[in-house]
Chain A
Amino acid sequence: MAVATHNPHPATPDSQFVIRISESWRSFKMATWLGWQIESNWTDPFLFAVYSIVKPLAGASILVVMYGIITHGNFSNPMFPYIYLGNAFYIYVGAVMTGVSWAVVDDREHYKTLKYMYIAPIRIPLYLLGRGVARFVTGSIAVFITVMAGVLFLHVPLDPLQANWPLFFLTLFLGVIMLALMGLLLAGVTLLIVRHEGFIGEATAGALYIFSGAVFPLDVLPAWLRPVGFAMPTTYWLELLRRSLVGGVAQAFPTLSGFSNLQLLGILLGLSILFGVLGVFVFRRCDWIAREKGLIDRTTNY
């Protein structure tokens, strides 16, 4: 039975805007808190700390051992910081991008709460982005520990006094926003997929690992595959992060040496906007299709 209500004080455009902002902020904030609880409260803080440290360090150590065996421990070669830092910052790609898209799988398949989120007074895209924040935090811890281990034990030539910190933080900020919006794109696709949703983020992160020159210069790729790498914003993002921290060492590789930092920043910004707009558009479209087809509360038990 429908109940007609009469609002004696109709909202003005200004107040509607304030309500939208408030709703968006609330969605983001609560999703961040929820995401953090899911990520961290499955165990005690000690085990959580061990979990957060061991996994990224083991991943980095595989590359360190591989490099050490072949070069007989020549860690002063510019290739080493290239590989090490690229791998360390790549943790963000898996954490942020997959973190946002995985929230759909988690809520729809595991907790079976996605339908409740859709009927709650929240904004779904901001809710999903908020869920990615917890992964950003844990990812940041992993990146920090990995980089510090490299500096302290493996002579990664990172001099805090020489590093270009404004460029570093600006690049990091841009990159995280870009990754979050790419995550939103994947979240949209995930809404429409049955059974393979878990693979989408993993497959994309895996492909970007290869095509972004994270652990090897793009020149190592076959020539016909390199354009894919040049079209990815993560390529420029990782290059700028390396340059901001280890300067000339990173610029020793020919792939992007023809570009100045400002040019790279411009390309990163342009590609981030492109992928960001694409992410929002794809999510909105997929969200609409998912609602039309009744896919929001679908579970497959996979």
Chain B
Amino acid sequence: MDKADRRPQTMDDGLLSTVHRPSSPKATGWRLFLKTIIARAYPRVIGQQRDTSWMLFDMLMPMGGVIAYVLVYRAIGAPEEYVGFVVMGGAMTAFWLNILWSMSSQLYWEKETGNLALYIMSPNSMMAVLLGMALGGMLATTLRALVVTILGSLIFHVQYEVVSFLQLFTVFLLAMVALYGMGMMLASLFLLLGREAWHMANLAQEPIYLVSGFYFPIKSFPFWVAAAASIIPLTLGMDAMRQLVFPSGVSLGFLTVSTEIGILLVLSAVFIVAAKLLLAHMEKLAIREGRLTESRR
């Protein structure tokens, strides 16, 4: 079902003005960079919480998928740990949807609403804007994912046995950094897209749920398919977290947790550097081709 997911996340656009108050002395350098990050994260963290009904929808919608897949597993007599896999996968869909609709497509929405040109002409770094989007999105989505996990666990009586909280926290953090780094990179790629951006984001939902093993262990795929899918940070992130929180997780794991942590570390660095390089390139290209203010509906 689609998602569907069709959610133009522009509610925070109007709120930006609330944090752009004249300040003295004028911030420059790193101070400006940090202030920009906070300013862009603010509407995502605070603004979205103000709209409680939206938040409610965002938390309850993934539950539909979770319930359906859990019942499919029960219908075919799957072991109970698969129910836990589905609950975790359902919670993590919130992050992937956030990456698609509120990171990758965000600059397209900003273009549609006229904010993008304002970002470009303001004296701050676009990288800081993207980082702010990522930070705000990550915090707001974590809250939603947490609610899905708690609800799913309560409804379906999921049992957890955490092996190492430190490793679990590290894996989650690295997966998020790599994932949002990837989101920042995709945002710069989407900068050039017109209305096809919506369709591209829509297209990237189910195939990623499939190849990243949102609802089943990634080990079920042939090695090279699973290895290729590992380019999506959630693939290894979920695999490692399942190994760390479910009793039978280790036997269904793709690689060892420490190897997956190492790969996630590399992915984090690669995606953030690639985002910076691509953003600079795409911004120049978009300016040269006059695509920053176009609105092809």
Contacts and interface: CB of A to CB of B under 8 A. Distances in A.
B24 interface: no
A210 B51 CA distance: 27
B210 A206 contact: no
A83 B75 CA distance: 10
Contacts of A301: 10-11, 13-14, 113
Interface string A189-203: 000000110110111
Interface in A82-127: 83, 94, 98, 102, 105, 110-111
Contacts of A281: none
Interface in B68-85: 68-69, 71-78, 82
Contact of A210 (B64, B77, B205, B217): B64
B57 A67 contact: no
Q: Which of A68, A102, A209 is the most central at the interface, judged by chain B CB atoms within 10 Å of its CB?
A: A209
A55 B207 contact: yes
> Do most interface residues of chain A lie in helix, strand or loop, or is the interface mixed?
helix
B5 interface: yes
A62 interface: yes
A66 B2 contact: no
A249 to B, nearest CB: 15
Given A66-B69, A70-B73, A302-B11, A206 B206 contact: no
Contacts of A110: 297
A71 B75 CA distance: 11
Nearest to A83: B72
B58 to A, nearest CB: 9
B248 to A, nearest CB: 13
Given A83-B72, A215-B68, A220-B75, A62 B206 contact: yes
A206 B76 contact: no
Contacts of B207: 54-55, 58
B202 interface: yes
B216 interface: yes
B101 to A, nearest CB: 11
Contacts of B113: 301
A261 B220 CA distance: 39
A216 B72 contact: yes
A67 B76 contact: yes
> Do most interface residues of chain B lie in helix, strand or loop, or is the interface mixed?
helix
B74 A94 contact: no
A148 interface: no
B61 A65 contact: no
Interface in B34-70: 51, 53-54, 57, 60-61, 64-65, 67-69
Contacts of B95: none
A228 interface: no
A71 B54 CA distance: 39
Interface residues of A, number: 45
Contacts of B203: 51, 54-55
B72 A63 contact: yes
Nearest to A68: B220
A196 B68 contact: no
A61 interface: yes
Given A58-B207, A62-B209, A205-B1, A42 B196 contact: yes
Nearest to B113: A301
B1 A202 contact: yes
Contacts of B77: 70
A66 B6 contact: no
Contact of A196 (B2, B57, B82): B57
B284 interface: no
Contacts of A83: 72, 75-76
A59 interface: yes
A51 B73 contact: no
B206 A199 contact: no
Contact of A199 (B57, B82, B196, B199): B57
A65 B220 contact: yes
B139 to A, nearest CB: 21
A22 B294 CA distance: 39
A170 interface: no
A203 B57 contact: yes
A149 interface: no
Given A42-B195, A216-B71, A58 B206 contact: yes
Given A65-B220, A70-B82, A210 B199 contact: no
Contacts of B214: 62
B82 A206 contact: no
27 contacts: A42-B195, A58-B206, A58-B209, A65-B220, A66-B78, A66-B215, A66-B216, A70-B73, A70-B82, A83-B72, A83-B75, A83-B76, A196-B54, A198-B7, A199-B57, A202-B3, A202-B4, A203-B57, A203-B64, A210-B64, A210-B68, A210-B71, A215-B68, A216-B68, A216-B72, A216-B75, A221-B71
Given A66-B69, A94-B4, 16 more contacts: A54-B203, A55-B2, A58-B207, A67-B76, A70-B77, A71-B76, A196-B57, A201-B4, A202-B4, A203-B57, A206-B64, A206-B65, A215-B75, A216-B72, A220-B75, A301-B14
